[in-house]
Structure 1
Amino acid sequence: MPEISDPTLGTSEPGRYWTTTNLGEAAPDVLSPLDMSIWGETAERGWLYSMKVFGVLPPSAKASPDVNDWGLSIFYGRPALNVDAIRGIVVSLPGVSGDDFERDLCGSVRPDAPPVKGKKSRLPVIAVKAPRALLRQGKVMHANYAETRAWWEREVYGDGGTAPAIERLVAARDRFEKVFADHCAWRFVFSGAQSAITDLAKKAGDPALGTRLMSGVGEVFETKMADDLWKVAQGQLEEAEFLRLWGYHGPNEGNADARVWREDPAPVRALVKSYQGRADVERPRDREGRSVAAGAEAEKALLAATPAAKRPAMRWLMKRTRNIVRTLQVGKAAYLMCIDGVRRAARDFGAEQVAAGRLAQVDDVFYLQIEECQELAAGRLENVAEIVVARRGYREAHRKVELPVFFRGMPEPIVPEAPVEGDRGAVEISGSASGGGQVEGRARVLLDVNDAIALDDGDILVCRFTDPSWAPLMSLAEALVIDVGGSASHGAVVARELGIPYVIGTERGTSVLRDGDRILVDGENNVVRVLA
């Protein structure tokens, strides 16, 4: 029998430049083969759609048969962005250079970065499509959310619907593609607005104003969720209602085989106990309110530094940016509900196959891609047991290694850095994004949100990544230090809404910081320092 393929291994031609930055929190666990049906070619079509919306690519553009030309690919079960391919496309956007894109994404530009030029032939199309997209895409996002929300309550949180599980699995994947495509388009709107605010703050002589202006947006979904959990702890909201509202969240929720809160509410109950165990805990909505006030003060400061003739346009931009941030979280919520639809249908299908004697365990289904599930449903996948065993082995091997943040061609897997033992000397680290002022406190290093941990007053949460399921725990922290992420990541958005200092994208904070360290988190100067 030929060797069974590992669809999560990946492939790249030599010299192709990739980065794992900004993607680690989307699907934090190593991807399963079923995840590839979501985060593989389906996500690539979503990225291409975003460029079609703005007119950069023609409507006929399709995912290349060569993965070296994809904007996103998978290596050892981890997603990575194709810097060369993306910079060659986005350079057609007016005012965007390849170097600007790479600098924003990677923090710097390679000395040997290939020169790229935009297609001038697309400018007339972009001039028509881009303004239209800016005006209508937000409405599309909210419409997607409303329709997806109703579907999720009916067919995922509810009884699952009447269609066969395999049909629901395919339909959920297709729904994800549409919702994720619109989210990708809005993500570029957010990046443009954030860059504009940052540049204006620099010109005003106070770069920190940019971060404060992006804070205190108000009514962001994750803050609402944390506030609802606070209400559960106070007896103001029933657990069942909380799960109906937020049950598609849970640890590693971007991975299809994760157990989200609607399936296992134990993490919710543990978080409720954490809230109840803190007499000093502040309501998340109140923390958000202070951050909103700080953002309003930053607006006033930037307007005061802006020439009078330009102030109306500045007011419009700042208001627009706040709506963009809120809508970005709406889009993420919608695509997470779609992934939960894949999860529900996959487990229903897995249960059917166990009953039919084709699978040994329900979760064996996650080691098949959707097309293989269709073959199994038709009785045409005869060696399914061997496939599952082999791919479980591949995935466990991938979990033992990590990828470099930047690499060329096929990456060389690296063994994770062990926590530093003994005398560390002076410890000071920085990240790719920071803000929120300064605070000193006790480091609480948490590698898994399911691990039992009690954050006391003044504690600083140190972790590898965050996804929306971390938001209630983050609202108990005095500051955040996160290995993976950037200025647009979930952790940064929630930290700004809660008005707490953060340093994100440290890459090694969980390795060099120890649980119990007395540390300084200086968000203004992008520094984390061990004090004792």
Structure 2
Amino acid sequence: MAELFDPVRGTSEPGRLWSITNVSEATPDILSPLCWSVWGRGLEEGVLWSMYSFGVVARREIVMSDDPNDLKTAAIYGRQAFNVDAVRRMVAPMPGVDPNDLERDIMGATREGVPKEPARPWRIPIILVKMPRAMLRTGSELRAVYEDVRQWWHRDVFEASRTGRHTIARPIDRLHEARDRFQRIFGIHCKVRLQLQAVQSALHDAAAKAGDTSLATRAFSGQGNVREVGMAEDLWRLAQGELTEEAFLAEYGFHGPNEGNVYTRSWREEPAPLRSMARSMAARQNYVSPRAREEEAVRAGAQAQAELLKATSALGRPALKFVLARARNIVRNNEIGKAGYLMTLDGCRAAARDLGREEVAGGRLAEVDDVFFLTLEELDRLVEGRLPDASELIAYRRGTREEYKRMKLPSSFEGMPEVTTAERAPSAGPGDEGDQITGAAAGGGQVKGRARVVLDPNDDVELEPGDILVCRFTDPSWAPLFTLAEALVIDLGGAASHGALVAREMGIPYVIGTGDGTARIHDGDQILVDGQHNVVRVIERANRGG
């Protein structure tokens, strides 16, 4: 009998700082053991290879540590958590990247009295040679790998799911191939994210010197031609009958609720959530199309950039112009990289379910989705006949998954977190009007409206004109919903996260990284979202009856 253990329970030494703010947006649902088999190795090795290409680490340092406290992320009670201390140490030698800025963007603030990371002066000459060259090549490298992944996904995942014809016969081999593709494109995506971080830091510093920090957010908005705006526009075309559902799925079918988790179902498998959003768009009167929103955001962003350049000294303007020009490509590349790795995750999902069906037919699994409760290494053994009875292990992990789902973790914690099982904060009473909430990042103007609190992305959401979307997290599958909302309030995320980026591109006011907004705001409350001052205020509580 296999040992009863759960690879996503996690462990941490005391005092180590973890955050679920950004990575939980990437993997919002409870991780399954198979999810962690893909993300754990893929993310760690992808980050290490990107650091090697920048010259930050030597080739001999591209080794996954056996100590989870040294890894950049960990699975803790089923949630992917970001190792803030380890990542600070990693980026410290990089010119233009301040560990304090990185922590501020992740956490919303920087801890007082954090010791300075150990210097690595012997790496500086290597970084100065390798890093500029790697940065200049990142865009073309990403686009080449993305195009290869896109063709692979369309041929071997989307079309194969309809025809049953696969380039690689065995599902277990397809699963390994998809994980390897994830690691490759995620490593390039990491390089884009680090450049995004450097650009944000440079804009923040320039705006601070100009005496108006809000200029940084406004100047970073409206880069234009972002992939997710195109997806929302195509869904609008689908809603208007200008595009067929099959054509839409052939381009975007790898998206879906909680799409960063392998365990879930994409639109390719289950298009019902897609149809629900299309119906909501079709029913909306005076709907402003996503491209029209984007065009307005581009105009506002250009005006903010002009203001920032005018407020910058003549000596500093050439460098700022370079940063603003880089911002446009980096924002677009960030979304391309994300789309690419999401395609590889859908490839893992498809191969895993094919493997599950094969193992059910062979009598080794009871249900198709049992496959997600085994690691990839365990699945190798199962296929080879070296895991003869996995049923007790699967039952145990199904039980721990239910346990983790009942847990509520803080957005950041040191060591193993203290958890609660409360779904919401205590119900608000009649005197709670005026409750004020802040976030880790904000942008846009000021909007009043009715709060629509969405805790499960699988739920049908009917947003009326003037409604404000309040949710725990967002991923790319939420982008079409953004166009139906007047503003966004999001528990998890920061300045560089998906929700903030897409909101900026569509000109939607937002406050993100509230931590507990979905607990303190109730469905139907009248709220004020002030993106300029990073404030959400409850104006009037909804009448919830007696």
TM-score by length of 2: 0.95
CA contact (8 A) 2:108 2:513 kept: no
Tell me whether 1:292 sits opposite 2:293 in the alignment.
Answer: no
Q: Distance in 2 between matches of 1:193 and 1:20?
A: 23
Match of 2:282 among 259, 276, 279: 276
Deviations 1:146-185 (A, max 9, x none): 1100000000101143421110001101110111111111
Deviation larger for 325-334 or 278-287: 278-287
Runs of 4+ aligned structure 1 residues displaced above 4 Å come to 95-98
Question: Per-residue deviation at 1:417?
Answer: 4.8
Q: Does 1:175 align with 2:181?
A: yes
CA distance in 2, matches of 1:104, 1:278: 35
- Between stretches 385-394 and 199-208, larger displacement belongs to 199-208
The alignment status of 1:489 with 2:497, answered yes or no, reads yes
**Aligned equivalents of 1:417 and 1:321: distance in 2?**
39
- Mapped to 2, the partners of 1:234 and 1:399 lie a distance apart of 38
Q: Aligned equivalents of 2:431 and 2:406: distance in 1?
A: 25
Give the Å deviation of 1:74. 1.0
Query: 1:15 is aligned with what amino acid?
Result: G
Query: What CA distance in whole angstroms lies between the structure 2 residues aligned with 1:46 and 1:387?
Result: 30
- 1:156 aligned onto 2:157: yes
1:27 pairs with 2:27: yes
SS, match of residue 59 in structure 2: coil
Which piece of structure 1 moves more, 20-29 or 98-107?
A: 98-107
User: Does the CA-based 8 Å contact 1:280-1:457 persist in structure 2?
Assistant: no
Answering whether residue 448 of structure 2 is matched by residue 440 of structure 1, we say yes
Note the aligned Cα RMSD (angstroms).
1.5
Q: Secondary structure at the match of 2:453?
A: strand
Aligned counterpart, 2:79: 78
Structure 2 equivalent of residue 245 of structure 1: 251
Whether the 8 Å CA contact 1:89–1:118 is kept in 2: the answer is no
Q: In the alignment, which residue of structure 2 is the partner of 1:373?
A: 379
**Number of the residue aligned with 2:430:** 423
Partner of 1:399: 405
Question: In the alignment, does 2:231 pair up with 1:225?
Answer: yes
- The residue correspondences of 1:103-142 to structure 2 (distance < 5 A) are 103-142=104-143
Count of equivalent residues: 532
2: CA distance between counterparts of 1:281 and 1:67? 49
Q: Per-residue displacement from partner, 1:333-387 (whole Å, max 9, x unpaired)?
A: 0000000000000001101001111111111100011111111111111121111
Instruction: Quote how far apart the aligned CAs of 1:448 are.
Output: 1.7
Contact 2:438 2:534 in 1 (8 A): yes
Name 2:356's counterpart in structure 1. Answer: 350
Give 5+ residue unaligned stretches, structure 2: 161-165, 541-546
CA distance 1:98–1:451, change in 2 (3 Å): closer
Q: Which residue of 1 aligns with 2:10?
A: 10
Deviates most, 311-320 or 117-126: 311-320
| AA aligned opposite 1:49 | W
Output the CA distance in 2 between the equivalents of 1:298 and 1:110: 30
Find the aligned partners of 2:520 and 2:355 in 1 and give their Cα distance: 44
SS in 1 for 2:515: coil
Q: 1:112 to 1:3 in 2, by over 3 A?
A: farther
Deviation of residue 111 (structure 1)?
3.7
User: Cα distance 1:71–1:162, how it changes in 2: closer, same or farther (>3 A)?
Assistant: closer
Amino acid at match of 2:498: H
Amino acid at match of 1:515: D
Q: Is this contact kept in 1: 2:258–2:457, CA < 8 A?
A: no
Aligned 8 A contact 1:88 1:118 in 2? no
Q: Is the 8 A contact 1:29 1:255 kept in 2?
A: yes
Partner in structure 2 of residue 518 of structure 1: 526
In structure 1, the partner of 2:486 is 478
Q: What TM-score do the two structures reach when normalised by structure 1?
A: 0.97
| CA positional deviation for 1:55 | 0.8
Aligned to 1:457, which of 439, 451, 465?
A: 465
Aligned mates of 1:192, 1:95 — CA distance in 2? 6
The DSSP-based 3-state class of the residue aligned with 1:60 is: helix
* In 1: Cα distance, 2:435 partner to 2:102 partner: 32
Partner of 2:163: none
Q: Is the 8 A contact 2:108 2:439 kept in 1?
A: no
The letter for the 1-side match of 2:39 is: W
Distance across 2 between alignment mates of 1:230 and 1:284: 8
Residues 369/212 of structure 1: CA separation in 2 closer, same or farther (3 Å cut): same
Select which of 363, 372, 375 maps to 2:369.
Answer: 363
Call closer, same or farther: CA 1:129–1:399 in 2, change over 3 Å: same
Per-residue deviation, 1:64: 1.2
AA aligned to 1:114 is P
Cα distance in 1 for residues equivalent to 2:270 and 2:102: 41
Q: Is the 1:479–1:501 Cα contact (8 Å) retained in structure 2?
A: yes
